[in-house]
Structure 1
Amino acid sequence: MIFKVYYQENRNEVPVRENTKSLYVEASSEREVRNHLKDRNYNIELVQLLEGSHLEYEQGSQNYEVESID
């Protein structure tokens, strides 16, 4: 499954929409995604499962690059 993670780069900052970044992670569950990212200093706002037409739309983005959890 592919998840889109919305995050702020600094865990101590208040979330501001203009500073929100995103990345894509291939994992079995949301818990696995959060566990994979726990060592990074990210303030995770949302982990969203992508499927169907939403996934197809995201795959068309120039910023679409998937991290895979080994």
Structure 2
Amino acid sequence: MIFKVYYQENRFEVPVRENTKSLYVEAASEREVRHHLKNRDYNVELVQLLEGSHLDYEQASQNYEVESIE
């Protein structure tokens, strides 16, 4: 499954929408994604499962690059 993660790069700053970044992670569950990212200094706002037409739309983006959890 592919998940889209919305995050702020510094967990100690107040979240501001304009500073929100995203990345894509291939994992079996949201829990795996959060575990994979726990050592990064990110303030994770949302982990969203992508499927169907929403996944197709994201895959068409030029910024679409998936991290795989092994």
Structures share a fold, TM > 0.5? yes
State how far apart, in whole Å, the 2-side matches of 1:16 and 1:45 are. Answer: 11
State how far apart, in whole Å, the 2-side matches of 1:34 and 1:9 are. Answer: 15
Query: 1:24 maps to which residue?
Result: 24
- Per the normalisation by structure 2, the TM-score is 1.00
The Cα shift of 1:27 comes to 0.1
Structure 1 stretches (4+) deviating beyond 6 angstroms?
A: none
Query: 1:41 maps to which residue?
Result: 41
Secondary structure of the structure 1 residue equivalent to 2:32: helix
* Matched residues, number: 70
* Structure 1 unaligned residues grouped into runs of 5+: none
State how far apart, in whole Å, the 2-side matches of 1:22 and 1:2 are. Answer: 13
Secondary structure of the structure 1 residue equivalent to 2:13: coil
Query: 1:9 maps to which residue?
Result: 9
Query: 1:62 maps to which residue?
Result: 62
The Cα shift of 1:53 comes to 0.1
Secondary structure of the structure 2 residue equivalent to 1:18: helix
State how far apart, in whole Å, the 2-side matches of 1:21 and 1:11 are. Answer: 13
Identical aligned pairs, as a percentage?
87
